[in-house]
Amino acid sequence: MQKLQGIAVSPGVVIGEALVMDNEGFRIPRRFVARDAVESELERLDKAIAAAGEEISFNRDVVSRELGQKYGAIFEAHLQMLGDTQLRGELEEMIRQRHYAPEYAVSRTLRRYAQVFQKLESHYLAERANDIFDIEKRLLRSLLGRRREGLAQLTSPVLILAHNLTPSETANLDRKYVRGFVTEVGGLGSHTAIVAEALEIPAVVGTGPFLTDVSGGDVVIIDGDQGLVILHPDEETVARYRHEVEEHRTLAVQLEALRDLPAETADGVRVNLFGNIEFPYEVDHCAKRGADGIGLYRTEFLYLGAENEPDEEVHYQAYSRVIRTMGRRPVTIRTFDLGADKLSHMPSPEDERNPFLGLRSIRLALRNLPMFRTQLRAILRASVLGKAQVMFPLVSTILELRQAKMVLSDVMEDLDERGIRFDRDLPIGMMVEVPAAVMMIDHFVKEVDFLSIGTNDLIQYTLAVDRSNKDVVSLYNASDPAVLKLIATTIEAANKSGIPVNLCGQMSGNAVYTMFLLGLGLRQFSVTPSAIPEIKKVCRSVSIHECHGIAQRALSMENARDIKSYLKGELRKRVPELSP
């Protein structure tokens, strides 16, 4: 049994069979070969080695001719590794003695070699691991050939174990069969993590390298509550986790009973619980859980994974479905927040070394006006079908906000001229996710109809910590007093000026913070749909008066660790069934 500690990004526990993805995104099955097929499998291996050798020699010749011998020598080193008799001997041993298929033997052996290099002190030598991965890829390409299987052909439930999954790959996972996933890289606030919650499957990211220790078909436990991954669990552990799965189920059934009750505190204050969605189908998950509306529709997912830029009709159909399903309940449509880790068909800027500080979000929209206008036209057309609101992401200056509003009024004029109906009083809001916006919040509140605090980004920009980097995850902390003060300032400014303020970052769906946020005066929470029942449970179990005291006490503390443990303690006292 092997335990890996990663970062918990989507709750729940699942026990199942592993499907291991290689670093090109193809699965490497742990296949065994029959005793009488060993010779022919060895022949297949030798053919693959020869084919890979030919490819490398060809590259060496081209590069030597074009750039000189010195550069060709890089490939010479690859050829030497490929022809190494020790490597060939180890592969043969795995196939002959252990009856592993050549693909599995190649992957396992070369990854072990690469690991040795990766652990070396010398940066130069550690980089050589990439050469080994390159050879592995070549051999696998040749061995798997047409038999390479992607994630499209799943026929039974699996847990995906991969080096990395992009947000769009995650979005396209087959919901019927994928029951959980683990990635070696990734951070707490990455969009891959957010999509995992949307899929409602347990997920752990940022475990560090482990794929060499596991094979397709192995039993694995993913504990999305604690961020643990257990490879080859013993019977006792499996039994303990089975019990936990049952407990999760029982709690979910208890919480379901709250569905038709309002999110109202014990002293009668009504709170709005909205859902965050990435895909139109999730509106059904929100409706099923009694959401008061959609607080954040991440429309950029219409672009991710699409071959072409979605046209106005594609936008319109998606928004119509969501708005119609919600009826009189509000739907906040955020204009596309592309860039950084959410890349679409658009070419990325060439020199973007800090994409989270680069051309993303509203900045990208304002540089691509035809694309922006297409989306705004669709939102406006759909606005007559229910109660829509539009929201701009990542606003950092007043002028930027005014520019976005001008584009919107320009599109309105355009529709008017063409006699197309839209909601003239469509509320216009902005996300507060950059500290600069908080510093200037007294000005912003005069120019928008509502605010929504995006803590996922606010944390990263306040603490200068990349939301998707596992190596700085301990700094990526919603409990940090600096972050809490910015949230308090924003809520206070909105309440003072009488405009609604929502909080739609992941923090909103974490029961640990609910009392604190209620105590600051927040009355709108927008959370991943599966978190609605839990947050409602907290709201119904506490009074605003006690929450106020808790918020004041937390704000007086000086470090994240004390604040978090204080808030956890307060939650445990009042709603013990939700305490981790």
Taking alpha carbons only, the member of 184, 166, 227 closest to residue 202 is 227
**C-beta separation of 171 from 279 below 8 A:** yes
Task: Give me the sign of the Cα torsion angle 338, 344, 348, 352.
Answer: positive
Taking alpha carbons only, the member of 243, 244, 253, 322 closest to residue 283 is 322
Contact positions vs ligand PEP (CB under 6 A): 194, 296, 298, 337, 433, 454-457, 504-505
Q: Show the site string, 403-442: x = touches Mg ion by CB under 5 A, - = not.
A: ------------------------------x---------
**Nearest approach, Cβ of 335 to Mg ion (angstroms)?**
12
Binding positions for Mg ion, 77-116, rule CB under 5 A: none
* Of 78, 191, 285, 315, catalytic: 191
Q: How far apart are CA 408 and CA 410, in angstroms?
A: 5
Specify the residue, 178 or 338, whose C-beta has the smaller distance to Mg ion.
338
What is the β-pairing status of strands 158-162 and 13-20? parallel
**Nearest approach, Cβ of 160 to Mg ion (angstroms)?**
25
Paired strand residues for 20: 161
Q: How far apart are CA 128 and CA 117, in angstroms?
A: 7
Query: What φ, ψ does residue 399 adopt, rounded to 5°?
Result: -65, -35
Which residue of this chain has its Cβ atom nearest to ligand PEP in the complex?
Answer: 454
| Residue 455 partner contact from Mg ion, ligand PEP, none using kind-dependent CB cut-offs of 5 to 8 Å | ligand PEP
| Residue 22 partner contact from Mg ion, ligand PEP, none using kind-dependent CB cut-offs of 5 to 8 Å | none
Q: Is residue 466 part of the contact set for Mg ion (CB under 5 A)? A: no
- Please name the residue that has the structure tokens 């033997």: 105
**Nearest approach, Cβ of 508 to ligand PEP (angstroms)?**
9
Q: Is residue 280 part of the contact set for Mg ion (CB under 5 A)? A: no
| Residue 504 partner contact from Mg ion, ligand PEP, none using kind-dependent CB cut-offs of 5 to 8 Å | ligand PEP
Say what the alpha-carbon torsion angle 79, 85, 90, 91 is, to the nearest 10 degrees: 50
Specify the residue, 451 or 504, whose C-beta has the smaller distance to ligand PEP.
504
Tokens of 222: 């993913």
Q: How far apart are CA 408 and CA 296, in angstroms?
A: 19
Query: What φ, ψ does residue 181 adopt, rounded to 5°?
Result: -150, 160
Specify the residue, 341 or 423, whose C-beta has the smaller distance to ligand PEP.
341
Specify the residue, 56 or 390, whose C-beta has the smaller distance to Mg ion.
390
Asked if 191 is an active-site residue, the reply is yes
Specify the residue, 296 or 463, whose C-beta has the smaller distance to ligand PEP.
296
Q: Is residue 457 part of the contact set for Mg ion (CB under 5 A)? A: yes
Specify the residue, 337 or 570, whose C-beta has the smaller distance to ligand PEP.
337
Q: How far apart are CA 174 and CA 151, in angstroms?
A: 8
* Of 286, 504, 539, 547, catalytic: 504
| Residue 292 partner contact from Mg ion, ligand PEP, none using kind-dependent CB cut-offs of 5 to 8 Å | none
**Nearest approach, Cβ of 372 to Mg ion (angstroms)?**
17
**Nearest approach, Cβ of 282 to ligand PEP (angstroms)?**
14
Asked if 286 is an active-site residue, the reply is no
Q: How far apart are CA 516 and CA 546, in angstroms?
A: 10
Amino acid, single-letter form, for residue 385: L
**Nearest approach, Cβ of 241 to Mg ion (angstroms)?**
34
Specify the residue, 135 or 304, whose C-beta has the smaller distance to ligand PEP.
304
Which residue of this chain has its Cβ atom nearest to Mg ion in the complex?
Answer: 457
**Nearest approach, Cβ of 70 to ligand PEP (angstroms)?**
45
Q: How far apart are CA 469 and CA 459, in angstroms?
A: 13
Tokens of 252: 């979910």
Q: How far apart are CA 542 and CA 544, in angstroms?
A: 7
Tokens of 231: 């490879």
Q: Is residue 278 part of the contact set for Mg ion (CB under 5 A)? A: no
Tokens of 337: 């927040």
| Residue 564 partner contact from Mg ion, ligand PEP, none using kind-dependent CB cut-offs of 5 to 8 Å | none
**Nearest approach, Cβ of 432 to Mg ion (angstroms)?**
10
Q: Is residue 454 part of the contact set for Mg ion (CB under 5 A)? A: yes
Specify the residue, 100 or 274, whose C-beta has the smaller distance to ligand PEP.
274
- Please name the residue that has the structure tokens 């909105």: 494
Q: Kindly state the number of chain residues that form the binding site for Mg ion, as judged by CB under 5 A.
A: 3
CA distances from 147 to 118, 138, 368, 399 (A): 30, 15, 41, 54
Paired strand residues for 432: 453
> Which residues contact Mg ion (rule: CB under 5 A)?
433, 454, 457
The residues assigned a catalytic role are 191, 504
